[in-house]
Amino acid sequence: MNGAVSTRRGFTLIELLLATMLVGVVTALSMMTFRAVSRGWQVSTDYMDKMQRTDYAINQVTSALRSMYYPHDGEQTFKYGFQLMNKGEGEDPRRSDVITWSKKGAAIVGNKNSIGSTVHRVQLMVLEEGDDDYREPIEVTGLYARLMRDSALIPQEDGDETDYGFGNAELYQPLLIADGIVGFNCRVIKKLEDAKDGSVRNASANDKKKFEDEFAESNAVPYKVELTFRMADPEGRSYRRNTAPLVRIVRIPVHEQSLDGAEIPGEKQSTKDGGNKSSKSGRKQK
């Protein structure tokens, strides 16, 4: 009987080992890819969450600057003026600027804080975790504000030599506005006339070239303020070189009022010596 004899040949040991190694390599690569994607997703989610919270906090700072207060008393005074302490380019807490101004309203302080209904000073800065210059050590690096009531509202007895200014670190504990902000830089345009040809329409064209790092007129307020906040790197690496900047430019509504003798809204300037005359009664303001 003639017929083909069929033979079955199995896998050799070397082939089985190679197949097992190949499956192992593919599995390892798949796991590494999955972990990398998961890690990237988690970092991105955390970063976007922090970005949203930081953006909200910065909007509060912007509102606080727009609600800057300057009295209608015809005098310029440092008690209500804007102050800028230039400490560097703001890459980290030790090189971040400090700004101080007076305001009214709930921005930063919140609706439930009674200080919001009165005039109060705000000092804005970045503080680093572990800073023990204040009554309580700083627990987390971030953007902080210190709040002080108007000096006219602080009761003082005769002979009281207490320093009620921000220089007294024991009186005004910093309030955390946003964690994760590790740097802050502030620049200003001092006067409206400093912006190109002095017109409001053209003032924004070359603003970036006009901003300066110093503001010596502490008895007045600037025309515009540029705020640059630097967020910490999402991977937690050194904030000196791995930060994401967030920039806000704020025009200060009471700028001209702080320079021209505090013109009362709705009335016209008429005298060259800094006085104001009412458009209705002609009464000179003091």
pTM over 0.85: no
185, 191, 218, 125: CA torsion to nearest 10: -20
Eight-state DSSP code of residue 153: G
- Residue 202's closest CA among 188, 213, 187, 189? 189
- Report the C-alpha gap between 174 and 122 in whole angstroms: 10
Q: What is the pLDDT along the chain (286 residues), one digit of tens a residue?
A: 555 555 556 678 787 888 888 888 888 888 888 888 777 777 677 777 777 878 888 899 999 999 999 988 778 888 899 999 999 988 889 999 999 999 999 999 888 888 888 899 999 999 999 999 999 999 999 999 999 988 766 666 666 677 778 888 888 999 999 988 989 999 999 988 766 544 444 445 556 678 999 998 888 999 999 999 988 876 655 554 556 788 999 999 999 888 875 455 555 443 333 333 333 333 333 3
Under 8 Å between Cβ of 138 and 127? yes
Residue 162: what are its φ and ψ, rounded to 5°?
A: -65, 135
Report how far Cα 176 is from the mean position of its chain's Cα atoms: 11
Strand bridging mode 224-231 / 181-189: antiparallel
Residues 6 or more apart whose Cβ sits within 8 Å of residue 106? 113, 116
* H/E stretch holding 13: helix 13-66
Q: What is the CA radius of gyration of the chain?
A: 30
- Residue 68's closest CA among 16, 124, 22? 124
- Residue 129's closest CA among 179, 201, 87? 179
97, 98, 103, 108: CA torsion to nearest 10: 80
Under 8 Å between Cβ of 67 and 105? yes
Burial (0-12, 13-18, 19+ Cβ within 10 Å), 57? buried
Under 8 Å between Cβ of 95 and 89? yes
